[in-house]
Amino acid sequence: MSRTLPPRCRGLVVVVALAQAAALPARADAAAESAPSTPPPASASAPTAPPPEPGVTSGGMPAALPLLVSGVAVGSLGLAYLVAGVVVGAGGLVGSLATPRWSSGAPRPFPGEPVDLAQARILVALGALLTGPLVFALGVAPTVLGGGLVSAAAVVLRRPARAPEAPGAAVPVPALAPSAPVPADTDTDSDASPDTVDRCPREPGPVNNRGCPWPDTDGDGTHDGADRCAAEPGAADNGGCPWGDADGDAVTDNVDRCPAERGAPDNQGCPAGDRDKDGLADGIDRCPDQAGPADNGGCARAEGAALPQQAPPAMDPRCADATRLLVVIRGDTVEIPAKIQFETGTATMLAASRAVVEQVLLTLQCRPDIRRLALHGHTDASGSEATNTRLSLDRATAVRDFLVAQGVAPDRLQTFGHGATRPLASDADEKGREMNRRVEFVIVEMPR
């Protein structure tokens, strides 16, 4: 027995039917996606396939194929949602436009239809109108995701296929071209040391240094292989070592004719002696080859020259002994055998320098004709100008006071302080500063 649908339910049936029709493609896609795929049976006689290479499944299918299928399924589901959203939204729009707006006084579209049913029909149409865009929006994300998966699968499937490799086979590595062997007798730097044993194959060097050049540590021109004093500069004719001075007379042993006996530099390191036998050693004798009195500097008096009013004192035997009188007079300069040393920054003379000043004292005793001797003090440039000038004068005065205390007449001595104004060497290093700190003796007045 057939029943006719009441007119008031027809609009609701149309909306529901449209929604079911829009959902049918999505259900079909989901069923296709969930259906298990049965791989083809493997032949019993077929050999065991090697392990799949990267990008290939265990059945020989490219790994990108499931990605492609998943992308198509997800994309289809998203498209179904998009279609359903359009259909539902369109149906709701048509239903809302076709239905008059209900009010208590408006005529009903279907005569005899209850008020609540007419209101429900209008609400269903409005709900479909609002639900359509929501369903459409829900389909956007699956559609984009499916498109991305399909694109990725397409990139992978376009890679060139590689032939399957045997299990455990190593990945082939391009072999480098073998370098040509170096002949055993090759000598690049031509130093008689083959390159196979030469530590410096591009730099010539002696065989006894394994083909490397000898360095010169002390920079004296004698390489370390032949330098007996590799850390101390010296002469090449002494094996790279500095010449010594066995007798301490400031004449090195290589030029000292008397290396075991102190002597004067101008006599090749030998004692000057007293050639004219006048009682004055040749080093302080103004006329070493002509006998003369000490009060005339060892020179003979000129004819008709006045004689001294009193007899000169007896000569000290040391005046004629060049091994004991080490001072040498060159022109106006009195050269002492060593420097006079002082305590740092003071005018206190060191005890070791007493013997040097006594040499000056003996010279003045042996040469009474030296009427005035100037003492010049010098310093390095370490301090201020005022400090250096005062210190240099104080040191010259300290030497004068010692000589006066030993019997030298004060009027025979003059003192000067020059500070650092007359250097002998650069003050850049200690060696130069040591040379600049000194006391010099210059004859100011004596008979000519």
- On whether residue 429 sits in a domain, the answer given is yes
Q: CA torsion 355→361→362→368, rounded to 10°?
A: 170
Q: In the prediction, which pLDDT does 371 show?
A: 93
Residue 228 placed within a domain: no
Of 90, 123, 157, which marks where a domain is finished? 157
Residue 263 included in any domain:
no
Instruction: Let me know if residue 388 belongs to a domain.
Output: yes
Residues 438-447: what's their mean pLDDT?
A: 90
Give yes or no for residue 447 having a pLDDT over 90.
no
Question: Which distant-in-sequence residues (6+ apart) come within 8 Å of 91 by Cβ?
Answer: 14, 15, 18, 19, 125, 128, 132
| pLDDT attached to residue 266 | 66
State how beta strands 372-378 and 328-330 pair.
unpaired
Question: Quick check: 166 pLDDT over 70?
Answer: no
Nearest to 281 by CA among 321, 337, 315, 313: 321
CATH of residue 391:
3.30.1330.60
| Owning domain of residue 358 | 326-445
Q: Which amino acid is at 333?
A: T
Q: Does the residue 234 lie in any domain?
A: no
Asked if residue 381 belongs to a domain, the reply is yes
Say if pTM beats, i.e. exceeds, 0.85: no
pLDDT of residue 63: 59
Region 432-437: what's the mean pLDDT? 94
Domain count, the chain: 2
User: Which of 395, 284, 407, 383 is closest to 349 using CA atoms?
Assistant: 395
* Share of residues in the chain with pLDDT > 70 (%): 64
**Predicted confidence (pLDDT) at residue 75 exceeds the cutoff of 80:** no
For residue 390, being part of any structural domain is answered with: yes
Q: Distance between CA atoms of 95 and 113, rounded to whole angstroms?
A: 17
The per-residue DSSP string of 336-357 comes to -SSPPPB-TTS--B-GGGHHHH
Which residue's structure tokens are 């730097």? 189
Q: What is the pLDDT of residues 364-391, one digit of tens each?
A: 999 999 999 999 999 999 999 999 999 9
Please say if the pLDDT value at position 12 is more than 50.
no
Q: Helix, strand, coil: what percent of the chain each, to 5?
A: 40, 10, 55
pLDDT, averaged across the chain: 76
Above 50 in pLDDT, residue 17?
no
State whether the Cα torsion 129-134-138-140 is positive or negative: positive
Are 228 and 240 a contacting pair, CB within 8 Å?
A: yes
What are 112-134's pLDDT values in tens digits? 555 565 666 677 777 776 776 77
Residue 201 lies in a domain: no
